Amino acid sequence: MNELQKTICNIGVVPVIKLTNPLRDAGPLSDALCEGGVPIAEITFRAAGADEAMKIMLERHPNMLVGAGTVLTTEQVDKTIAAGGKFIVTPGLDVEIVKYCQQKGIVVFPGCTTATDYHTAYKLGLEVLKFFPAEQSGGLAKIKALSAPFSMFKVMPTGGVNLKNLADYAACPVIAACGGTYMCPDKLISEGKWNEIVDLCKKSVEIVKEARA
Ligand code: 3PG
């Protein structure tokens, strides 16, 4: 694992975020994440202005680890790099985007859930994969089954991960970190309930710490 991947692994969770009003919400949300002990954000391109949100967060917290999620095009990779984003997450495994990220020197986590995906990822020289959608694709049982032939990978499950099953995922040595939207739900963001987001982050960090102990 490279330094960035190790940092993600140490934090243990990755909030997956959609910001429909980045100018209003990106700043206070980054404050809440940092206060909650989760100084990392995967800002998805599910809403316009993801790159703007990344810039705002990084201006406010230069040491935060900010990257892009739901990246579907190389243009979005370029926008992320221009905004100062440090990693790319894609929902599926797209060889063109992975190679483009490798050329540009930005870390990429493609979504993989099958032996075929893993095999392709192996040939691309990847070490850490997103496992998406985790629960719907067989969850921990499938992650463990795939780790038998592909023991070289660590994975970041997202999709159906929440406070209820976080401990089970985090306790598995194949897991680098767990991701999800549950830490930053749309409703809490739109209502500006930053303290509740701080609490969700703190709880998540605590669960991961205990599960790994
Ligand atoms: C993702 O892109 O990682 C997922 O949509 C997260 O899924 P969740 O909403 O179930 O956490």
Tell me the DSSP string of 111-163: B--SHHHHHHHHHTT--EEEETTTGGGTHHHHHHHHHTTTTT-EEEE-SS--T
Atom 7 of ligand 1, residue of closest alpha carbon: 159
Top mutation candidate among 8, 16, 184, 187 for ligand 1, by most atoms within 8 Å of CB:
16
Residue 132 tokens read as 């998406």
Atom 5 of ligand 1, residue of closest alpha carbon: 159
Report pLDDT digits (tens) over 28-68: 999 999 999 999 999 999 999 999 999 999 999 999 999 99
pLDDT < 70 regions, the chain = none
In the reported structure, the alpha carbon of residue 48 is separated from the centroid of ligand 1 by a whole-number distance in angstroms of 18
pTM, two decimal places: 0.97
Q: Is 42 a known active-site residue?
A: yes
Confidence at residue 1, expressed as pLDDT on a 0 to 100 scale: 85
By CB atoms closer than 10 A (0-12, 13-18, 19+), residue 49 is middle
Confidence at residue 100, expressed as pLDDT on a 0 to 100 scale: 98
Which CA distances in Å does 129 have to 29, 92, 114, 188?
A: 26, 10, 11, 29
Give strand ranges (E) for 39-116.
40-44, 65-69, 87-90, 107-110
Catalytic residue among 42, 55, 79, 154: 42
Report pLDDT digits (tens) over 190-207: 999 999 999 999 999 999
**Cα 137 to Cα 18: distance, rounded to the nearest angstrom:** 23
For the chain, give percent helix, strand, coil, nearest 5.
50, 15, 35
In the reported structure, the alpha carbon of residue 20 is separated from the centroid of ligand 1 by a whole-number distance in angstroms of 16
**Cα 125 to Cα 107: distance, rounded to the nearest angstrom:** 12
Confidence at residue 32, expressed as pLDDT on a 0 to 100 scale: 98
Q: Is 130 a known active-site residue?
A: yes
Q: Closest Cα to residue 50, out of 61, 39, 58?
A: 58
**Cα 130 to Cα 10: distance, rounded to the nearest angstrom:** 16
Catalytic residue among 86, 130, 135, 154: 130
Atom 8 of ligand 1, residue of closest alpha carbon: 159
**Cα 191 to Cα 193: distance, rounded to the nearest angstrom:** 6
Question: From its phi and psi, is residue 125 left (phi > 0), alpha (psi between -120 and 50) or beta?
Answer: left
Q: What residue ranges line ligand 1, CB within 6 angstroms? A: 16, 69-70, 132, 158-161, 179-182
